[in-house]
Amino acid sequence: MNVVIPKETLENETRVAATPGTVKELIKFGVEVHVQSQAGLSSHISDKDYEDSGAKIIDSKEKLFSQADIVLKVLPPTLDQIVLLKPKTVMVSFCQTTRDIDTVKALKEQSVTGFSMHLIPRTTLAQKMDALSSQANIAGYKAVLLAASRLGVYMPLLMTAAGTIRPAKVLVLGAGVAGLQAIATAKRLGAQVEAFDVRPVVKEQVESLGAKFIEVNSNEDEGVGEGGYAKETSEDYKQRQQDLIHEHISKADVVITTALIPGKPAPLLIPREW
């Protein structure tokens, strides 16, 4: 059985679906691992690193995909990659099945079985496969560092001989895995942090990290979905939410948006001129 690791083709995508360490684990199960040449360069992994772990390096994309029994990818496969796959191949990637409709149709037409890492349930049994949480942790952490490096003021309170410099005000929208990590990172840098989430149950977690929870008075299950995710709220709630957030966002130096609803596109926040 051949497990193949292709090179990600999307610009600015630096991840790769397997490391030399995970290649060794796969080989222990008796499979062959084929890695596309230069697949790991953006992750600082050379072809020699993969070869030393037991993988075979394949230069040709056509040869790589046509011989695959299992494909491990970060992003969903492109249509030109799917047509190279033989029937009954298994594809594992971060495919959002409710959004990547053309990809799902192409996989079906090619008789390829797809597994979406987005759909791994949030249960104790599946915790080791919860790839979304690991990526969300990194996103929340890096979001604060990126904001701090571009901010025109300091994150922490600074006492100087010339006077006191107030700490930056950070507003985090969404208190899931990424949001909580963003809150914790901003607090460690000394910022004043506020957070909003449609799920009242996360209030205790937000406050335990030292942030202020912005709360819209509503039914307890207004924004609480299945599996710990948020869900769509009523129009009345949305209006009261917008009014409340407008009040706080106008005073913030940094706004970090992490809120996601399964199956919905990520929110796009258009910055206005301050």
With a CB cutoff of 8 Å and minimum separation 6, the contacts of 32 are 1, 2, 3, 56
With a CB cutoff of 8 Å and minimum separation 6, the contacts of 211 are 172, 183, 186, 187, 193, 194, 195
Token pair 């929208």 is found at 173
Active-site annotation holds for 229: yes
Active-site annotation holds for 181: no
Task: Point out the catalytic residue in the list 42, 69, 141, 229.
Answer: 229
CA pair distance 251, 274, nearest whole angstrom = 10
Active-site annotation holds for 130: yes
Task: Point out the catalytic residue in the list 42, 43, 133, 135.
Answer: 133
In a 10 Å sphere around its CB, with 0-12 CB exposed, 13-18 middle and 19+ buried, how is residue 191 labelled? buried
Active-site annotation holds for 122: yes
Task: Point out the catalytic residue in the list 99, 130, 154, 237.
Answer: 130
Looking at the DSSP bridge assignments, the partners of residue 92 are 72, 115
| DSSP string over 4-29 | EEPPP-STT----S--HHHHHHHHHT
DSSP, collapsed to helix, strand or coil, labels residue 72 as strand
The angle formed by the CA atoms of residues 47, 52 and 55, to the nearest 5 degrees, is 70
Helical H segments across 223-273, by residue range: 235-249
In a 10 Å sphere around its CB, with 0-12 CB exposed, 13-18 middle and 19+ buried, how is residue 211 labelled? buried
Using an 8 Å Cβ cutoff, are 89 and 81 in contact?
A: no
Task: Point out the catalytic residue in the list 46, 60, 111, 127.
Answer: 127
List the catalytic residues.
122, 127, 130, 133, 229
